[in-house]
Structure 1
């Protein structure tokens, strides 16, 4: 990854999409490598993603970008696409203006944008980070339309970094079979470490993330299902929003948590339930932890990953309806 950048000490803006915490989490892995090599890092994002970045690097400069306003109110991927499309297009246009203004003000050498398709500038090297180069959706129309848009936006960047293996992809067809010639496979991104923590002292870890209201609905379902679970339960909500749900008194509950503590909790967990977001999958894969992965209904990427990884690397696919 570092060999893809210009030589010398660089000023770099890192801008992850605020869609769950996955994009911010894997950008923290990139940040760690860049800081080790003496580069200056500036963050730009919004919402919980920006809060997670600031929680892990409070000494850095931060800039707020317009949010995409993504919502998952419908389990049908076509309706979800139509519901979110206007907000996505508006945000892409707005963030392009923000990128140019920040570039003029800060004069960065590099912009690294994780899935923010408009956050790029002509005045510096602009990199897009994405593992979704070949969208895998249920309907041929959404797959066709999505890949046309994907191709249009990704080609506007100077480089595309794919957090996956070139020869044996963790993300399946998502990161392969694409039409791009500026793609670089940089391997799975996670700053988790295999450390000698006390193992299996947490009986159940529930790790949540993702857009609302789907995140909150799943949270309530799991609280109801495991309310009387005997054993030590840790819930990482993945949101700074307050909940009205009464939590079981014996549970340990965190809203947002820094990556070092999350690394420790994952390694100590006997059983893990998580969304099938790719960044979570990379974290579990990196430390060799098995997990039950549950896709967000209507989110084609998560549904594809859950199907593809079911029975591999210790992952098992579950549906929300399995937790009644």
Structure 2
């Protein structure tokens, strides 16, 4: 009998869901029966990637970004009651789903209520330390208390240097049951002909995604090279539009993204951790524009700049001419990730 594993990524941008795609594929290859669960665009993307799998809907955390990035922490605090309510709902739902769907194990990517003491439960995160400015110590302690409820915590990074997450995914001392599983990417490096001089990839929540899109549509008019512009809006149908030397897409599937990344010379994108893992896997040089007010992305962008790997600019200060700085940086090192999925999945035995 195949064991049934529920895998549930957080719907916050597309990073959590896209890094779960290789895990779902590995579960299928190792004779497990995955059930996918999330909400919003994350669930819609999973349905597109795995149309034959059972897909279940979870309550939304109702995460919202302010127009002014400096107000993000206050906005998240105001929404915290909605998040707490969603986490409580998740716990009740999981208690019902385990017997209903004969679930033998759980994998949660940053969904705090998706666990059970009745079956092995795994938590995925690269944020043992949760950056929030002067309250980082509080948010980190709260997050670590949630992690303790799980059988194991998988960190998609390398334990030793060089690593990709810096102090986000590495603590000097901890009693948490941690496993560093190496970098996770749904994409593979392929030697194919370069088609685009620049690939722009947007992601994240509104209104910041839309504000950045509007700015880049103006900036890209000053760029002479051939550009592909992926808006990062998951919809029922893919929309392609050509405007001058820019080809616009609302979204791409994993196979399409893999081909487009490999056939692009330079990448302009957010400093999301999943994007960083993709860039390391594909060996692509990039320029980062962190989401305003998102401390994690701001930290990662500064960390990789200090390592002389990737340049960045704030959203307010970004100009297309800054892409010339990319040549002065080394790009991310590719560190082979030899993950033994069979051994990793032994937690469900």
Tell me if structure 1 keeps the 8 A contact 2:147–2:176: no
Correspondence 1:296 to 2:298: no
User: Take 1:220 and 1:89, find their aligned partners in 2: how far apart are those partners?
Assistant: 33
User: Take 2:35 and 2:271, find their aligned partners in 1: how far apart are those partners?
Assistant: 29
Q: Taking structure 2 as the reference length, what is the TM-score of the superposition?
A: 0.84
**Offset at residue 314 of structure 1 (A):** 4.0
Correspondence 1:204 to 2:198: yes
Correspondence 1:34 to 2:60: no
User: Take 2:302 and 2:50, find their aligned partners in 1: how far apart are those partners?
Assistant: 35
- Structure 2 residue aligned with 1:59: 52
User: Take 1:209 and 1:137, find their aligned partners in 2: how far apart are those partners?
Assistant: 20
**1:296 alignment partner, SS class:** coil
Match of 1:22 among 15, 30, 54: 15
**Offset at residue 70 of structure 1 (A):** 0.9
- Structure 1 residue aligned with 2:166: 172
- Structure 1 residue aligned with 2:212: 218
Per-residue deviation, residues 39-95 of structure 1 (Å, max 9, x unmatched): 111100011111111111111110011111111103225324323322221221111
- Structure 2 residue aligned with 1:100: 95
Unaligned runs of 5+ residues in structure 2 are: 320-349
**1:271 alignment partner, SS class:** strand
- Structure 1 residue aligned with 2:77: 82
User: Take 2:226 and 2:317, find their aligned partners in 1: how far apart are those partners?
Assistant: 21
More deviation, 214-223/250-259: 250-259
- Structure 1 residue aligned with 2:3: 10
- Structure 2 residue aligned with 1:309: 304
Tell me if structure 2 keeps the 8 A contact 1:285–1:313: no
Tell me if structure 2 keeps the 8 A contact 1:44–1:62: yes
- Structure 1 residue aligned with 2:325: none
Match of 1:238 among 232, 236, 239: 232
User: Take 2:77 and 2:176, find their aligned partners in 1: how far apart are those partners?
Assistant: 30
Query: RMSD of the alignment, in Å?
Result: 1.9
More deviation, 118-127/107-116: 118-127
Q: Taking structure 1 as the reference length, what is the TM-score of the superposition?
A: 0.90
Question: Structure 1 pair 241/41, CA: closer, same or farther in 2 (3 Å)?
Answer: closer
Tell me if structure 1 keeps the 8 A contact 2:289–2:318: no
User: Take 2:176 and 2:277, find their aligned partners in 1: how far apart are those partners?
Assistant: 25
Tell me if structure 1 keeps the 8 A contact 2:153–2:176: no
**Offset at residue 228 of structure 1 (A):** 4.3
**Offset at residue 104 of structure 1 (A):** 2.1
- Structure 1 residue aligned with 2:252: 257
